[in-house]
Structure formats: C-alpha cells, structure tokens
A and B are shown apart, each in its own frame.
Chain A
C-alpha cells in the first residue's frame, strides 16, 4: 500500500469526522435541556471513513480495469449452464422438487415471506413490461396493485364475490386503470411521465384514504376471505400452503406470458419504442396503441397481484400502497436487470428476502438496505442479470 493511498484514506477519515460531527456526536434533549456528547462515535466515523475510502477506491479501480477489457459477446454464466443439457434437466428437476417441498420443510413464517416474494416477482414482471420493455418510467405502479386489492375486498364485502371471480375482475380493472392512466400521458416523456404516474399513484391512495363511504378510509377493510375450494375447509396452515402453490402457478403463468409477449409482434414494438420513438413510428408502429397496451398489460399483473395480496393478508388499508411500494418494485426491476425475466426474479428475491434476513441487524436494516442499493448500482449498474440483447452469432462452420 502506497503512501498516497494512506494519505487519501486519512483525509477521508477526517472528512467523515467533520461530516458526522453534529448528527452523530451531539444529541440534544430539548425538553430537559441536556446535551449528550458521544465522542466514541467520532472515532468510529474516522476509522470507518479511512477504511471505506481505501476499499472503495480499490474496488472502483478494479471495475475500471474490467471495463477496459473488451466486452465480448459472451453469454452470462447462468445461461451457459442452462444451454448445457446435462446440467439443465437435473437442475430444473431439483428446482421443482425444492419449490414443491418448500412449505413442508420450512416454517409457516418462511412460507409467508416466500409468498410475499412471489407476489413481488409478479409485480416486478408486470412493471418490467412498462419500464424494461417499453421504456416508460412509471413511479405509480402501486396504484394498480391497490386497485386489484380493493376490487377484491370491496366486491367481496358488498356482493360476497369469491376469490376466483375476483381474480380476473381485479386483472381487468387493473388493465382499465392502466388505460386510464396511459391515455393522458401519451405525449409525456421521461421524467414528466415519471412525475405524472407518481401523482396518479398518490391520487389513488389519497382517495382511498379520504373517501370513507367508499373504501372505509384509513382504517381499511378487514376479514377478507382467503381463497378456498368449495367443499373443502382449510385450516390456517393449509390455506397458507394453498396460497403458496397458487402463487407458484400464477408466477409461472406470468413468466410464460411475459416471455411470449416479449417475442411477439407487440413486444418487439415495445422494444423499438424504447430504443427510438421516431424511428419506431417511421417503421409504421402505432405509438398510441403500443404505449397503451404496455400500460394496460403491465397493470393487469399488478391487479392480479393485488387480489392475491388482499386474500393473503385478509386485511388491507391505504398504508400498504404508499409510494415506497412503487419505489421498491422499481428497485426490483432495476437491480435485477431491466428487461430480463430471470433478472427480475433474482431481484425480487434479493430485495424482499434481504430485509427479512437482515432482521438480525434489526434497526440497522434499512440503513444497510439503502447502502446496498447504492453499492449495487455503483458496481453493477446494469443489474444483477443484465438483459442480453438478441444477436445473431455466426458460428464458424466446418466445411
């Protein structure tokens, strides 16, 4: 280690001591007029700053070096493994067995977390259509999730509609609201679009919160029935396991559909729209139709996920649908790797399971979570599993 690096580290340490001084060292109690001085924190900040700066620089330098290596059209590790027939089938069978056995091996608590993760996979895949494929930055995606959840809760409360009817209705309502949002924002681009969708999400939440006669206001709706099969009485454990398998089926269905959509005519149109709007129109693609289908198809999954969410928790209120939820789903898509289906799945597991298993750090978990988001993005800006563009590769043919 050179002298230069140490000097830089020391400077960073001193800078962090300065930076954290008022917030970390002093704590005032304005009621009793006591000042608490926590000098130990100063030491931590200094030492932490020193080491962090050295590690950070080292990692950045390494990344820079890697970047300079020419990026060849090499397939990512996972995909390479999958191409290999002798690995492919055993791993798929292993995965299927693990997925089926999961709720029987692990506790109910774990199963519940897994259900949440699966719901988020569905949300992530839905948002992936809007952001990853069509390139429309949507910060109000949670609104459709809320529409789905409330449509089941309200239809059940007023008309006693059961889960199986609510699921397609929730999806259809989600799609309708997607259109409703999509129509006025057709002309908007980039961040203007982001802020309007954000506003739309907030409008839905605020209406649910304030329109007591319609949605029971902030106190929410309780006693939403879990999904059931007529004639069978589920215990709580069985119901949870049932929802788990239901979610597995729905997620597989989603993956299948999104995968088919991606390679369909409309999917290609979305990608073209993302890459260049003008060129896309010049190719004869109807911009309005393409954008609207992206919004409504994306929202469909959120509507469905909302219905399942309401059925799973049996209680919903507007507090579950804040903007943080939208941000979380956005993080899943971007951290996983925009536009890539395996990426979204990995991203959802990573972001939903990480805070759960970080409970050991209890109060520090959101701090760590924020830091992880920054670190992830700095060192892997393309996401965990970046989308590989479809390219033709000429194989050297042996003549």
Chain B
C-alpha cells in the first residue's frame, strides 16, 4: 500500500508538472487552433533565465529568498516577452494562412529558439540550484512527499484556480472565450482580437515559465533540449484531456502522470513512454475528442 501511495504521489507531481506546460498549449489552441510547437522552448527559456539570474544574484551575495523571488519573477517576465514576440513574428502574419503553414512556422521557431540558446549558452547540461528550500514544518511528512513536490502541487493548484477565475469571471476572460468562438463576431462587438491573442500567449508563456522554474529546480539540471521533450509530453496531455479545455488539460496531465508512474512502478521502466502513448491511443479510440473535449457537432 505504501508503494502504491508513493507511485500515486509521484504520478501526481509529474502530472502537475505536465499540467503547467499543457495549460499554455491548451489556451493557445483554444483561441487560434494552433499547435504551438515553440511552447516547450518558451518553458526552456524560462528555466534558463531563472538559472542565469539565480547564479548571478547568488554570486553577488543576495540572500536565498531574494534570489528565489527575483529569479522566478524574471523568468516569468522573460518567458512572457518571448511568447509575445514569437506570436508577433511567426504566427500573426499567418492568421489567415492554411493551418499547416502556421504549424511549420511554429516548428521553425522551435528549432530557432533551441539553437539560439544552444549557441548563446552551451550544449551541456547545467546544474540547476535547488531554489525551493526544505520546510521545517513539513519534516514529519517528508518521507511521503518532499517539500519541493509539495510546492509544485500547491503552485499548480494556485495557477489553475487563477486561470479558471481569469477565464470565467473577468472581462478579459470573457473576451477570450468570445474570440475563441468566433473571431469576426468578437471583433464586431468591439473586442480587440489581436490584443486578446497576445494576452493569451503572454499568460500561457508565464504559466510555462513557472513550470520551467519548478521542474528545473526539482530535476536539478537543464539543457537547451528539455523544452522539446516536455513540450511533446504536455501536448499529449492536453490532447488526452480534450484540447482547448482548461480542466481537461489538468486532468489529462494527471492521467498521463499516473499512467507513467504506475506502469513504471509495476511493470517496466523501459516501456514507460510506450505505455503512455498506447494509453493515449486507447482513450482516443473511445473518446475521439479527449476526456473532457466538447463533441463537435457539424452543421451540414
């Protein structure tokens, strides 16, 4: 039973991590129906910014808390800036182009950003300082779930609540929902569609950056390629849950996290990803638009 609990919590943490990246995917998809291949790269840039800022500040002798806060904030700011710029350069001119063209543009951007970081920084794995401290009060439970894992879970929860409130109850959220339903109609009722799309990218990128900082400090090392792998996984999670739906992205991520965790724990770690993908295929056969996806009714 203990082993089961361990796997369960491991899967939960893993799922929360996927969720932070999958949320950005799903938001962008919901609004412009684009698989944002460069999203993983934004997450990677967030992690790199945090690493650089944290290293510089620690060397200048700032205390731990300041380093943690400044590194996280700057990581989010920079990821947002990158997300915004990428959208302006690579996606905005393609708004009326065929969808596959936008996808190729996204792939190009992803390659560009990967190599940009590779050339400007390094191709080696860099050790990432563990920014999240071990809490004293959590000591008695640390054998079940460590403090960094607790922070990851709590943060994911907060981000999800924040996003739900943003989308359900604010003016911006209303505008986002309107834009995703019908861009022309949204523009007609006075919504600045371009601005809303930019905001969606900024929010999605910021979420990815939070994920980047948390994961990097949990795993302990980063390189320029982490974004691609994480991006694919998060994309799978988003699709599993029903792409375009926010609770779907979180649920899909958790399901993916648990699947991986349990299969690895009980069967074999070699085929971890095989199981994850088989499970995905299996679910999509029975629910072709994801677990929580809306069923599209098509008018003839």
- Given A203-B278, A377-B101, A22–B271 Cβ distance below 8 Å? no
Does B264 have its Cβ within 8 Å of any Cβ on chain A?
Answer: no
Contact of A377 among B45, B94, B280 (CB under 8 A): B94
Contact of B236 among A24, A31, A195, A382 (CB under 8 A): A195
Does A82 have its Cβ within 8 Å of any Cβ on chain B?
Answer: no
List B residues at the A interface (Cβ < 8 Å). 29, 35, 45, 48-49, 51-53, 55-56, 59, 74, 78, 81-82, 85, 89-90, 93-94, 97-98, 100-105, 107-117, 119-122, 126-127, 129, 232, 235-236, 239, 243, 270-271, 273-274, 277-278, 280-281, 284-285, 288-290, 298, 300
Is the pair A199, B101 in contact by a Cβ cutoff of 8 Å?
no
| A residues in contact with B290, CB < 8 Å | 192
- Given A192-B284, A370-B109, A374-B90, A33–B81 Cβ distance below 8 Å? no
Is the pair A203, B274 in contact by a Cβ cutoff of 8 Å?
yes
Q: Per DSSP, are chain A's interface residues mostly helix, strand or loop, or mixed? A: helix
| A residues in contact with B109, CB < 8 Å | 370, 374
Does A76 have its Cβ within 8 Å of any Cβ on chain B?
Answer: no
Contact of A202 among B45, B82, B273 (CB under 8 A): B273
Is the pair A191, B239 in contact by a Cβ cutoff of 8 Å?
yes
Does A384 have its Cβ within 8 Å of any Cβ on chain B?
Answer: no
- Given A18-B81, A28-B51, A187-B288, A23–B45 Cβ distance below 8 Å? yes
Chain A residue nearest to B236 in the complex (CB): A195
| A residues in contact with B93, CB < 8 Å | 60, 63, 378
- Given A184-B285, A200-B281, A370-B110, A22–B274 Cβ distance below 8 Å? no
Is the pair A210, B126 in contact by a Cβ cutoff of 8 Å?
no
CB distance from B96 to the nearest CB of A (A): 8
In the assembly, what is the distance between CA of A27 and CA of B53, in Å? 10
| B residues in contact with A30, CB < 8 Å | 51, 55, 126-127, 129
Is the pair A184, B281 in contact by a Cβ cutoff of 8 Å?
yes
Contact of A364 among B114, B117, B119, B288 (CB under 8 A): B119
Is the pair A373, B285 in contact by a Cβ cutoff of 8 Å?
no
CB distance from B270 to the nearest CB of A (A): 4
Is the pair A338, B52 in contact by a Cβ cutoff of 8 Å?
no
**Residues from 161 to 213 in A contacting B, C-beta threshold 8 Å:** 184-185, 187-189, 191-192, 194-196, 198-200, 202-203, 206-207, 210
- Given A22-B49, A192-B239, A371–B274 Cβ distance below 8 Å? no
Could you list 14 A-B pairs, sorted by A, with CB under 8 Å? A26-B56, A30-B126, A30-B127, A35-B55, A196-B281, A196-B284, A199-B277, A199-B278, A207-B271, A330-B100, A369-B108, A370-B113, A374-B89, A376-B104
Does A335 have its Cβ within 8 Å of any Cβ on chain B?
Answer: yes
Does A19 have its Cβ within 8 Å of any Cβ on chain B?
Answer: yes
Q: For B48, B104, B235, which residue has the most chain A Cβ atoms within 10 angstroms?
A: B104
Chain A residue nearest to B98 in the complex (CB): A381
CB distance from B283 to the nearest CB of A (A): 10
**Residues from 4 to 28 in A contacting B, C-beta threshold 8 Å:** 15, 18-20, 22-24, 26-28
| A residues in contact with B78, CB < 8 Å | 19, 22
Is the pair B121, A27 in contact by a Cβ cutoff of 8 Å?
yes
Is the pair B271, A334 in contact by a Cβ cutoff of 8 Å?
no
**Residues from 361 to 399 in A contacting B, C-beta threshold 8 Å:** 363-364, 366-367, 369-374, 376-378, 381-383
| A residues in contact with B108, CB < 8 Å | 369-374, 376-377
Is the pair A381, B115 in contact by a Cβ cutoff of 8 Å?
no
CB distance from A287 to the nearest CB of B (A): 14
Contact of B100 among A56, A334, A364, A369 (CB under 8 A): A334
Chain A residue nearest to B127 in the complex (CB): A30
| B residues in contact with A364, CB < 8 Å | 115, 119
CB distance from A292 to the nearest CB of B (A): 15
| A residues in contact with B271, CB < 8 Å | 206-207, 210
Is the pair A195, B112 in contact by a Cβ cutoff of 8 Å?
no
In the assembly, what is the distance between CA of A383 and CA of B100, in Å? 10
Does A331 have its Cβ within 8 Å of any Cβ on chain B?
Answer: yes
Is the pair A334, B53 in contact by a Cβ cutoff of 8 Å?
no
| B residues in contact with A198, CB < 8 Å | 232, 236
Is the pair A192, B288 in contact by a Cβ cutoff of 8 Å?
yes
Is the pair B121, A377 in contact by a Cβ cutoff of 8 Å?
no
Excluding A137-B100, A378-B93, 17 further A-B contacts by CB distance (< 8 Å) are A27-B121, A184-B281, A191-B29, A191-B243, A192-B284, A192-B289, A192-B290, A195-B235, A200-B277, A206-B274, A278-B300, A323-B232, A334-B100, A373-B108, A374-B108, A378-B90, A381-B98
Chain A residue nearest to B128 in the complex (CB): A30
Closest 10 CB pairs of A and B: A373-B108, A370-B112, A370-B111, A381-B97, A199-B277, A377-B105, A367-B115, A381-B101, A374-B108, A28-B55
In the assembly, what is the distance between CA of A191 and CA of B108, in Å? 19
| B residues in contact with A131, CB < 8 Å | 100
Does A154 have its Cβ within 8 Å of any Cβ on chain B?
Answer: no
| B residues in contact with A157, CB < 8 Å | none
Is the pair B35, A28 in contact by a Cβ cutoff of 8 Å?
no
| A residues in contact with B122, CB < 8 Å | 27
Is the pair A207, B274 in contact by a Cβ cutoff of 8 Å?
yes
CB distance from B55 to the nearest CB of A (A): 4
Is the pair A327, B274 in contact by a Cβ cutoff of 8 Å?
no
Is the pair B101, A334 in contact by a Cβ cutoff of 8 Å?
yes
CB distance from B191 to the nearest CB of A (A): 23
| A residues in contact with B114, CB < 8 Å | 366, 370
Chain A residue nearest to B296 in the complex (CB): A189
CB distance from A101 to the nearest CB of B (A): 34
